[in-house]
Structure 1
Amino acid sequence: MLIDILGKYKVKATFFVVGDWVDNYPESVKALHDAGHEVMNHSNTHAHMSQLSKDEIIADVEACNDKIEAVTGVRPTLIRPPYGEYDDNVITAIRSIGMEPIQWDVDSLDWKDLEAPEIIKRVTGKVQSGSIVLFHNAALHTPEALPTIIETLLQEGYTFVPISEIILPQPYTIDHTGRQLPADAQAS
């Protein structure tokens, strides 16, 4: 259903999938990829990565990467750590295998089964230029909320792009709001 809504508005998105979901729904993963969406890593087992060793993190992430690549032909370069948990160990482990950890700045809270009007208000009221919005593909009211969110944001002049098109390459810094800035921008 989400793929149809995004297709109607010609919106390309990034889907972070768990390895177990790839195992159970390979046709859905392939459909996302074939529709032009990015399919990236959300871990293999949805573990609390901050409780894992560097080697355990790498093994988990690579297992999911292998599954996604087997289905789509493309190896993920981004990961959204489960629960939004990260620390220096998680970031170091992920970057050691050439991947970039991703966070979000607008949480739709759709996973709490909020009603569609609440999801719409949360997202449209918090989005700003460069925002990364967190949705969940199995959330109850997301399909109902998404068309209004897309239409509202398009009317406000926003465009939608996959995450890989907005993240900056190294070197960069992150300011107090969580936004990336080119490293030389701090000197200005």
Structure 2
Amino acid sequence: MAYEAVYNVKIRNKCIALTFDVGWGKKVLSPVLDTLSANHVNKATFFLSSTWVKERPQLALKVKARGYEIGSHGQLHENYTEHTNAWIIREVKQAQNTINRVTGIKCRLFRTPNGDMDQRVVRLLGKLGYKTIHWNVDSLDWKNPGIKNIIQRSSTNVKSGDILLFHASDSARQTAKALPSILRRLRRQGFQFVTVSELLSMRIK
């Protein structure tokens, strides 16, 4: 069986998936969630680091309570390509145990820390029961390049089936402020927001 990382999905519908990586801190997530809610976006996918889930269980449960999809972002924020299969398996399983214990969710989607991966890592994650989810629209919000810059990067040349990358860790201080304009622009272009799993289910065979 061939295992491949997902960057975008070939679909007929005019839908895209907003994704948010969460690895540390407690200041940014709630404003991001509140901004999504205020703009009536009830579909998005959050990739949670298990170390963060362990430290901030109430925030992890807040993501679940809002009805957003939860995927795993692993445990330690290290490049998987630099580690052995045994290390990766241990990391992935420990991450899943923590996320499941706190949220009751068994993740089926996995985003590697730093987006670092190769065919070995993707195949290994596939054998562990995960789809590896990358992205093809990168806001670079973690660099705090300016709100206008984030808006521009996230709402220009977006196509149906795209997966957009944002962060809701404390390093991404401008994300919540940029989101309202991004959401308005994308809606004006006719896009609907869905979870990554919903995007995958629309894939043209």
Alpha-carbon distance in 2 for matches of 1:80, 1:40: 7
Would you say the 8 A contact 1:49–1:57 is kept in 2?
yes
Q: Which amino acid aligns with 1:79?
A: F
- TM alignment of 1:1-188, pairs within 5 A: 1-11=31-41, 12-138=43-169, 139-167=172-200, 182=205
Q: Which amino acid aligns with 1:48?
A: N
Would you say the 8 A contact 2:73–2:113 is kept in 1?
yes
Would you say the 8 A contact 2:54–2:102 is kept in 1?
no
Alpha-carbon distance in 1 for matches of 2:68, 2:148: 26
1:36-67: per-residue Cα shift (whole Å, max 9, x none)? 00111111111110011122111111111111
Shift of 1:132: 0.6
- SS in structure 2 opposite 1:69? helix
| Count of aligned positions | 172
**Higher relative contact order (CA closer than 8 Å, sequence separation 6+):** 2
1:116-141: per-residue Cα shift (whole Å, max 9, x none)? 11100011113111111110103111
Rate the CA distance shift 1:181–1:52 in 2: closer, same or farther, 3 A. Answer: farther
**TM-score normalized with structure 2 length:** 0.80
- SS in structure 1 opposite 2:46? strand
- SS in structure 2 opposite 1:120? helix
Q: Structure 2, unaligned stretches of length 5 or more?
A: 1-30
Alpha-carbon distance in 2 for matches of 1:141, 1:70: 31
How large is the RMSD of aligned CA atoms in angstroms?
A: 1.4
**TM-score normalized with structure 1 length:** 0.87
Shift of 1:17: 1.2
Q: Percent identity?
A: 35
Would you say the 8 A contact 1:110–1:142 is kept in 2?
yes
- The ranges of structure 1 where at least 4 consecutive aligned residues each deviate by more than 6 angstroms after the TM superposition are none
Q: Structure 1, unaligned stretches of length 5 or more?
A: 170-179, 183-188
